[in-house]
Structure 1
């Protein structure tokens, strides 16, 4: 596994997501030459190079040299690890003073984050933390565990909760235990909560428990795109069978299937721009809600099954940082 002690400055992140279901068998790489995209604004133009000794170094471009002094005032990033697996050709761990990142696939999309100066990600993961207050008391499944971003959030605010996570790539679990504090989540809290980790296909019929789940979080991506099974009605009907009565599914649905501005995405039927929500709405007619996150929050669509909760009650039951956000949910209305 290659390491680097040189600070690396990056451009904005692709907050796209997790869990690959591919049968390829690429060879792990000690390092890779590529642009790494990890900042909201561009502060430098650097590339990673493999030196003859296998170490990763950052070679600045002329533009980067001109901005070197300005970049020093910005948050710096360090490459902690680069490797690959049978499921992910490229796996990178990037560190900064404020956040640690898991990057996957050749597009280097961010699949997990671990904030260091707080708990909130300011992206779609925060939405998952609103689920426990609108489902029955019981275990919650995380289909697409990644490095455990959603698990960190949920156990922070609901330390009694039993989480059961599935991740298809054992290498990601290994790295998450080394770099993302996964062992802390696997320990039982004083309130009885914990995370149980399963390595395997999150859509397998075996990815279930006796009695069903109170809630299911679905966050399954490959190559920066939602996996195609989630655009099929039958997939959602099978996932719903894993719920206990009155249970709900919350889904990271990715983006629109074409470039869409936020201004064009305010109508009651604008969810049709997202293929996953279209499949969900067909699977759960009259029992689906959706919202689209802001530019600051990665512009993802998210969906929630079941009747629309009482938004005022929901607002008072979630952490204060989510109280306004839950009021943005609206029903998925068929045209």
Structure 2
């Protein structure tokens, strides 16, 4: 029987900085096919789970946080709990606002399926803009999780052929049961679908004949981007999997040092992020970046290739993304 427990606001605990209360902190398992984000659906709070799988309320906030204590609580329901060779804890947790995939000992969120909005209000939304600036062809999702990006991309580009990689078969099983992944694997009326592959997303075999039109990379472990993605050679190998004119879009996580929001919004703030630095070295003069707002996830995202015509790009994406794509700027080595 599902366990239902009201959760309250608690200080965020995690490796990223500058994050206000009331966010869900997400990161990936050590083998790295999930996400790192700060996701804030309405009225939700960080999920705390005991080792036996019980969903529990976090410690009460200090008396000084009376305003936070007065905020309405939201009930979270534990729908499933399991373990695998890759994750000691795998949980599916439900709420009126969204459904979450919670993994590993840190009990952090890897994927989310919103219920009250189409959008996640986090970096996943950025991936929806990629098909507008790549050739026609299959798009890879390196870091499939429970399919958050796949849901969004097929909703707005129903003809897309998505190919996703996930290392943990248990996550795929639960995603089919609880996150609608089985529906994504069925052809849409426009012929698009998601093809699921279980295995190492960075393996040489993680490719298709003729190459990908686009590759989405969202790979984290132990609360930070996997070390391979901070190496120039890794990106050169990933780029070989693209067809001519193809592009890579990357969730690069946050900065590797504590900085003020003002400093982090400066034109050169990408130098604080080792993944963006590696990408810029791998693709000199052919990399673009942006930093998501505090209301989103405060993550860096990167896009390979020349900077698209921002007006044309803005006109070709869903209206909710029109202004956001104009925030991309070229990344240049100092």
Query: Do both proteins adopt the same fold according to a TM-score greater than 0.5, normalized to the shorter chain?
Result: yes
Partner of 2:286: 287
Secondary structure of the residue aligned to 1:147 is: coil
The answer to whether structure 1 residue 147 and structure 2 residue 139 are counterparts is no
Residues 77-98 of structure 1 show CA distances to partners (whole Å, capped at 9, x for unaligned) of 2222222221122222221101
Residues 99-137 of structure 1 show CA distances to partners (whole Å, capped at 9, x for unaligned) of 111122222222111001221000000000000000001
Contact 2:75 2:95 in 1 (8 A): yes
Partner of 1:244: 243
- Measure how far apart 1:45 and its partner are: 10
Q: Which runs of 5+ in 2 are unaligned?
A: 11-21, 33-37
Partner of 1:27: none
Secondary structure of the residue aligned to 1:142 is: strand
Structure 2 CA distance for partners of 1:132 and 1:174, relative to 1, 3 Å = same
Partner of 2:159: 160
**How many angstroms apart in 2 are the aligned matches of 1:76 and 1:94?**
10
Contact 2:39 2:120 in 1 (8 A): no
Q: Which moved more, 1:108-117 or 1:270-279?
A: 108-117
- Measure how far apart 1:16 and its partner are: 3.6
Structure 2 CA distance for partners of 1:94 and 1:184, relative to 1, 3 Å = same
Where in structure 2 are the equivalents of 1:130-279 lying within 5 Å? 130-279=129-278
Count of matched residue positions in the alignment of Structure 1 and Structure 2: 316
Structure 2 CA distance for partners of 1:151 and 1:38, relative to 1, 3 Å = closer
**How many angstroms apart in 1 are the aligned matches of 2:126 and 2:310?**
14
**How many angstroms apart in 2 are the aligned matches of 1:63 and 1:57?**
18
Where in structure 2 are the equivalents of 1:56-71 lying within 5 Å? 56=54, 58=56
**How many angstroms apart in 2 are the aligned matches of 1:136 and 1:217?**
14
Contact 1:230 1:276 in 2 (8 A): yes
Partner of 2:315: 316
**How many angstroms apart in 1 are the aligned matches of 2:28 and 2:47?**
25
Q: Which runs of 5+ in 1 are unaligned?
A: 23-36
Secondary structure of the residue aligned to 2:295 is: helix
Where in structure 2 are the equivalents of 1:54-133 lying within 5 Å? 56=54, 58=56, 73-133=72-132
| Greater Rg over alpha carbons, structure | 1
Partner of 2:31: 21
User: Alignment RMSD, CA only?
Assistant: 2.9
